[in-house]
Amino acid sequence: MKTTNPRTRFAPSPTGEPHVGNIRTAIFAWLFARANKGSFIIRVEDTDQARLVDGAVDSILESLSWLGLEWDEGPDKAGKYGPYIQSERQKLGIYSQAIDKLITSKDAYYCSCTPERLNELRQNQMKSGKPPGYDGHCREKQLSKGSDNSAKLVVRFAMPNAGITKVSDVIRGDIEFENSLMDDFVILKSDGFPTYHLANVIDDHAMEISHVIRAEEWLPSLPKHINLYKALEADPPIFAHVPIILASDRTKLSKRHGATSIKEFRSNGYLPSAMLNFLCLLGWSFDDKTEIFTDKELIEYFSIERVSKSSAIFDNQKLEWMNGHYIRESDQSKLINELQNYWSYLPEDPFEMDPETSTLVSVLPLIQDRIKTLQEAAPMIKFLFSKEISYDTDLLIQKKMDCESTISALNKSLDVMNQTSPFNANNIETSLRTLSETLNIKPGQLFGTLRIATTGQKVSPPLFESLEIIGRDTTINAINMAIQKLNSYGDRN
Ligand code: GLU
């Protein structure tokens, strides 16, 4: 699609932590704007006051920023189409002016039907197998704002009773909706707030949004919106309804499938670049085979025509693989930076002592190929940043060994470690392999004991390199400590 300087928007309702599905939609709108040198706008749709959640706007903006999306106008970035929060726009009378216009042109009307009547109507429709919907009871009544019990009045849009509404969607092509099947929907609620349909249409128009890129679940609302545009004598924008995201069991991606909000993925140790890359491939492809894209390439290659109609499957294993790839490929200083940011983002510090950058520089190459998420790093390297390592003494005793043979192996290791010079991974390895032969035990048995003694962990970076990093003195102290533990353990057992 050839477009110059489009204006796209992301219009979240602040009702909770942003779901990855919503964020993926935001990414498509952002990429389309950036790919075509346009503007990307954020508009907060908070007219459903009952569903508002404190802090949700901040969470949404924080998630987008973390992924590297920047916006040109938004609640925190003034522009000539502001304000960018609908509850603030409402105070300016933007929606009530439109309501007045629609009432005057008879495209909308006041409705005084009580919830009881609407309920009864629905029950009867269900009983007689008819689709539920408003029956137009007040359409010809010409009620006015001051009519009976005015506090309860709502305004409904008068949908055409017959004919067809034709809509066109960039991803889905032309679609026709039978008007008789659509009821007169509410556009102004009794609390004085516009509904999503009205506020959304008015604002997309007022903000000169050229392309509405939004989730497939809004497709059934499209004929309502098209008729609203017509009644308001406004040209509709171009629409693209992007596919829904399903879990691998083909049901809607929800909590029971694991993490669903960007914040959770962040806490679980995913890198923003991997997450952005992964989310882009949920519904969009470049050539059906390329998987890895830098942010710049995404902007360069993205095209809305290559967004698919079919649902996208959220494959957690693929995300993990992709994250591992980004970690492996990352240059060291960038990865250290990511790790430090990650650790300070966590509510609890994973280390007893602040990790020194110089130690991170030595240990990172040892784990970079072994971790798939940032979360896996701290448990592997925390022995380097602990005042004292702790472990269950019985972990020192390897299969087919006992307390006595373990103590003797550790005592011999002490001698060997004292004599190994220079104290580097290669020499340490050679000495310990020779020692295992002398002791007539398997190398794995000796290394297993030493790994616990020096790191306190069953899983650690490679042993010899780890010992080189902690140095001879710390290694010797740790082995002595292990011998002491075993001595009192032996006494007890
Ligand atoms: N506020 C709606 C939502 O949260 C926006 C839908 C749209 O983009 O039109 O999904």
Last residue of a domain, one of 313, 342, 368: 313
Tokens of 366: 């040892």
Q: Which atom of ligand 1 is nearest to the CA of 215?
A: 8
Instruction: Write down the pTM of the prediction.
Output: 0.92
Residues 26, 129: one domain? Answer: no
Across the range 239-246, mean pLDDT stands at 96
Q: 45 in ligand 1 pocket by Cβ < 6 Å? A: yes
Residues 97, 228: one domain? Answer: yes
Residues 374, 485: one domain? Answer: no
Residues 346, 452: one domain? Answer: no
pLDDT > 60? residue 457: yes
Q: What percent of the chain stands above pLDDT 70?
A: 98
The pick from 214, 238, 244 for probing ligand 1's pocket by mutation, whose C-beta has the most ligand atoms within 8 angstroms, reads 214
SS3 label, residue 44: strand
With residues binned 3-state (H G I as helix, E B as strand, rest as coil), the percentages for the chain, rounded to 5, are 50, 10, 35
pLDDT > 70? residue 493: no
pLDDT > 60? residue 150: no
SS3 label, residue 234: coil
Ligand 1 midpoint to CA 329 (Å): 36
pLDDT for position 152: 77
Domain count of the fold of the chain: 4
pLDDT band at 482 (very low <50, low <70, confident <90, very high): very high
- pLDDT tens-digit map of 171-181: 999 999 999 99
Across the range 73-91, mean pLDDT stands at 96
pLDDT > 60? residue 92: yes
Last residue of a domain, one of 186, 221, 242: 242
Rounded distance, CA 465 to CA 264, Å? 33
pLDDT for position 4: 84
Instruction: Mention every residue, 6+ apart, whose C-beta is less than 8 A from residue 127.
Output: none
Residue 320 lies in a domain: no
Q: 12 in ligand 1 pocket by Cβ < 6 Å? A: yes
pLDDT > 90? residue 377: yes
Q: Which atom of ligand 1 is nearest to the CA of 200?
A: 9
Residue 444 CB neighbours (<10 A): 12
pLDDT for position 490: 64
pLDDT for position 489: 81
pLDDT > 80? residue 354: yes
Ligand 1 midpoint to CA 287 (Å): 29
Residues 185, 124: one domain? Answer: yes
Closest CA to 106 of 157, 34, 178: 157
- pLDDT tens-digit map of 328-348: 999 999 999 999 999 999 999
Ligand 1 midpoint to CA 245 (Å): 16
Q: 218 in ligand 1 pocket by Cβ < 6 Å? A: yes
pLDDT > 90? residue 46: yes
pLDDT for position 148: 60
Ligand 1 midpoint to CA 17 (Å): 15
Residue 325 lies in a domain: no
Residues 292, 274: one domain? Answer: yes
Residue 202 CB neighbours (<10 A): 23
Ligand 1 midpoint to CA 138 (Å): 29
Across the range 236-259, mean pLDDT stands at 93
Residue 182 lies in a domain: yes
- The rounded mean pLDDT for the chain is 94
Helices then strands, each counted (H, E), the chain: 18, 11
Residues 175, 216: one domain? Answer: yes
Provide the annotated active-site residues. 255
Residue 419 lies in a domain: yes
Residue 36 lies in a domain: yes
Parent domain of 24: 7-75+245-313
Q: Which atom of ligand 1 is nearest to the CA of 25?
A: 8
- pLDDT tens-digit map of 195-205: 999 999 999 99
Q: Which atom of ligand 1 is nearest to the CA of 204?
A: 9
Q: Which atom of ligand 1 is nearest to the CA of 45?
A: 1
Q: What percent of the chain stands above pLDDT 90?
A: 91
Q: Are 13 and 45 in contact (CB under 8 A)?
A: yes
Tokens of 106: 């008879």
- pLDDT tens-digit map of 101-128: 999 999 999 999 999 999 999 999 999 9
Residues 140, 201: one domain? Answer: yes
Residue 322 lies in a domain: no
- pLDDT tens-digit map of 382-428: 999 998 899 999 999 999 999 999 999 999 999 999 999 999 999 99
Q: 214 in ligand 1 pocket by Cβ < 6 Å? A: yes
The pick from 22, 30, 218 for probing ligand 1's pocket by mutation, whose C-beta has the most ligand atoms within 8 angstroms, reads 218
Residues 419, 470: one domain? Answer: yes
Residues 142, 258: one domain? Answer: no
Ligand 1 midpoint to CA 16 (Å): 14
The pick from 45, 47, 60 for probing ligand 1's pocket by mutation, whose C-beta has the most ligand atoms within 8 angstroms, reads 45
Q: 241 in ligand 1 pocket by Cβ < 6 Å? A: no
CATH code, domain with 299: 3.40.50.620
pLDDT for position 358: 95
- pLDDT tens-digit map of 272-321: 999 999 999 999 999 989 999 999 999 999 999 999 999 999 999 999 99
Residue 85 lies in a domain: no
Q: 47 in ligand 1 pocket by Cβ < 6 Å? A: no
Residues 487, 370: one domain? Answer: no
Amino acid type, 314: F
Q: 11 in ligand 1 pocket by Cβ < 6 Å? A: yes
Residues 120, 218: one domain? Answer: yes
- CA-based end-to-end distance of the chain: 78
pLDDT for position 117: 95
Residue 324 lies in a domain: no
pLDDT for position 492: 58
pLDDT for position 258: 85
CATH code, domain with 478: 1.10.10.350
